[in-house]
Amino acid sequence: MRRVARVLVPLAVVSLHIVGLPHVATARVAAVDRVVTVHIRDNLFSPSAVDIADGTTVRWINDGRNTHNVTPTTGKTYGSTNLKSGKSYVHTFKDAGSFAYYCTLHGTPTSGQRGQLAVGDVASATPITPVGGGEHTAPTFRASGRTIRVPADAKTIQAGVDLAKRGDLVLVSPGVYKESVKVGTAGIVIRGLDRNRTILDGEFKRDNGVFVVGADGVAVENLTARNYKENGFFWNAVLGYRGSYLTAYRNGDYGIYAYDSQYGQFDHSYASGSPDSGFYIGQCNPCHAVITNVVSEYNELGYSGTNSSGDLFIVNSVWTKNRSGIVPNTLDSEELPPQGQATIAGNDVSRNGDPGAARIATTPEFDAVLGGGVALIGSVGDIVTKNRVVDNTKVGIVLAPNPGLQTNVYPSTHNQVTNNVVQRSGMADLATVLATADDNNCFSGNTFSTTAPANLEQVKPCGGAAGTGDLATGALDIGKFLDTSQNPKGVPYGKTPVPRQQRNLPRAARARARPAGAPISIDLANIQVPSAS
């Protein structure tokens, strides 16, 4: 449970821009005739809970990349239309009371993107506690044995999902389904009969392919989602999620995505052409999640995990031809910072820095790690081991601080980089940015040619041995590392390559439904460095 800080603000105009700070969940504005700004981030209102005096005007402004709205949970005394990025909505609350609201595109009245206003001197807004924080129990769901067939029993996938009850299987025949599917029923399984021919198509005008919000234990299998404005497959604020044998390409934000959720697994899946990341797990601690046997290419980032920490494994997968490969990171734009305690092992991370990958034009700061294979940004206690990291245009494996784009600067500390094969990197195979003698990062047992600073394994060895040498000799040129002026322009996500055929889920027509619960266990001792082939 997070400690709540209440802030009394005496100014006439107040802008509350406190995204993701772990100890600031409720803001309080006590004087009348004030203007309060609530910032709308992607999947988050910030602050999510505000105490205000009656007569206060609230201004919601969409600072995210996606479209959002402000919809009251009950009543119709206020509320916005859909707000594109940069647009705002204003309402003055004249009477005392409690006003809960949510974004219908990314939440429900009880889960996902939602907020609360408490109006009046005695009112008190309840902070919105992240689902992905703290310890929860893994859900368990039993298959019901019932199958709803699309289009035989229901004409659309959404109609089939709406008919489904806990434990049911929604089995979808091949075809192109021009729809967005929203799932609010726990413990169901959605499965395509043929991964390559059962296709959800957003036609570049729909938001999400499959969006699971507040429904625990939902598994999605053997489907393709393409051409959506936001995400291919998206789980938000759930306990238990699984995406298996999925293909997501040419989607406008993320390919395969989980946010504010625990107990998850992405396996045997493919994501490409996302102008943010192909695979993403964000805002969870502990995450209790596994990504394994996936391929991610032609994305801005192959994997991005903002503030995703604890019991998180990214293993045995291929991250290639993205602008950057694997990038765990800390940002104040989401809750539960800093990121840490993730394990990255047994991956093939190659040829990142590809000019043919998709790019986020509105956030050029992401491109500071272009050409990075594995980049830990503001990470604490991550393990990077037994990976093959080759032919990346800038750096193979790099540890760097978060640059403090919102509020705080977070250093990378206590990370271990061991037993990797790192070769043919443009600037350095192994590197640290702004390293200090007491950051407790360490490097040992790696196969490499170049490091920055020089002799990095001798300067910062693992295993408690004292280092020899200094951090100044051969230090990474910070200017060249952060300079994005010469980076390739990139490709609009709708013009990235169409993927080849992908392997189907075995026995898709007959396999019993298996709702999502705890992910598989990972035995790190049995993971090997991938072969050069």
The per-residue pLDDT for range 69-111, each reduced to its tens digit, is 999 999 989 999 999 999 999 999 998 999 999 999 999 999 9
Q: What pLDDT is recorded for position 28?
A: 54
Q: What are the backbone dihedrals phi and psi of residue 356, each rounded to the nearest 5 degrees, phi first?
A: -90, 5
Q: What pLDDT is recorded for position 10?
A: 27
* pLDDT exceeds cutoff 50 at 464: yes
Enumerate the CATH 2.60.40.420 domain ranges in the chain, comma separated.
Answer: 13-119
Phi-psi region of 326 (alpha: psi -120 to 50; beta: other; left: phi over 0): beta
Share of the chain above pLDDT 70, in %: 92
* Cα dihedral 365/264/410/524 (nearest 10): -110
Confidence of residue 122 (pLDDT cuts 50, 70, 90): low
Q: What pLDDT is recorded for position 126?
A: 85
Residue 481 DSSP SS3: helix
> Are 68 and 43 contacting, i.e. CB atoms less than 8 angstroms apart?
no
* pLDDT exceeds cutoff 50 at 340: yes
Q: What pLDDT is recorded for position 342?
A: 98
Q: What pLDDT is recorded for position 477?
A: 81
Partner residues linked to 203 by β-bridges: none
Give the sign of the dihedral formed by CA 82, CA 87, CA 92, CA 96.
Answer: positive
Distances (CA, A) of 30 to 10, 46, 60: 8, 18, 19
Q: Which of 371, 348, 355 is nearest to 428 (CA)?
A: 371
CATH fold of 13-119 reads Immunoglobulin-like (2.60.40)
Confidence of residue 21 (pLDDT cuts 50, 70, 90): very low
C-alpha to C-alpha distance for 452 and 432, rounded to whole angstroms: 7
The whole-number average pLDDT for the span 139-155 is 98
Distances (CA, A) of 169 to 164, 242, 405: 7, 14, 44
* Cα dihedral 447/453/457/460 (nearest 10): -150
Q: What pLDDT is recorded for position 24?
A: 36
The whole-number average pLDDT for the span 136-140 is 97
Q: What pLDDT is recorded for position 26?
A: 55
* pLDDT averaged over every residue in the chain: 91
Q: What pLDDT is recorded for position 284?
A: 98
Q: Which of 45, 66, 39, 358 is nearest to 208 (CA)?
A: 66
Q: What pLDDT is recorded for position 363?
A: 64
Instruction: Select, from the ranges 15-19, 23-27, 272-276, the one with the highest average predicted confidence (pLDDT).
Output: 272-276
> Are 340 and 371 contacting, i.e. CB atoms less than 8 angstroms apart?
no
Confidence of residue 4 (pLDDT cuts 50, 70, 90): very low
Partner residues linked to 262 by β-bridges: 239
Our CA angle for 437, 442, 448, nearest 5°, is: 120
* pLDDT exceeds cutoff 80 at 59: yes
* Cα dihedral 519/129/339/230 (nearest 10): 70
Q: What is the pLDDT of residues 375-433, one digit of tens each?
A: 999 999 999 999 999 999 999 999 999 876 666 889 999 999 999 999 999 999 999 99
Q: What pLDDT is recorded for position 487?
A: 87
Which H or E element spans position 248? strand 247-249
Confidence of residue 1 (pLDDT cuts 50, 70, 90): very low
Q: What is the pLDDT of residues 197-209, one digit of tens each?
A: 999 999 999 999 9
The whole-number average pLDDT for the span 47-64 is 92
C-alpha to C-alpha distance for 310 and 36, rounded to whole angstroms: 35
Q: What pLDDT is recorded for position 503?
A: 98
* pLDDT exceeds cutoff 70 at 29: no
Distances (CA, A) of 339 to 5, 198, 329, 343: 22, 36, 6, 12
Biggest CA-to-CA distance, the chain: 70
Q: What pLDDT is recorded for position 364?
A: 65
Q: What pLDDT is recorded for position 27?
A: 61
C-alpha to C-alpha distance for 99 and 120, rounded to whole angstroms: 11
Q: What is the pLDDT of residues 262-302, one digit of tens each?
A: 999 999 999 999 999 999 999 999 999 999 999 999 999 99
C-alpha to C-alpha distance for 291 and 244, rounded to whole angstroms: 10
The whole-number average pLDDT for the span 319-326 is 98
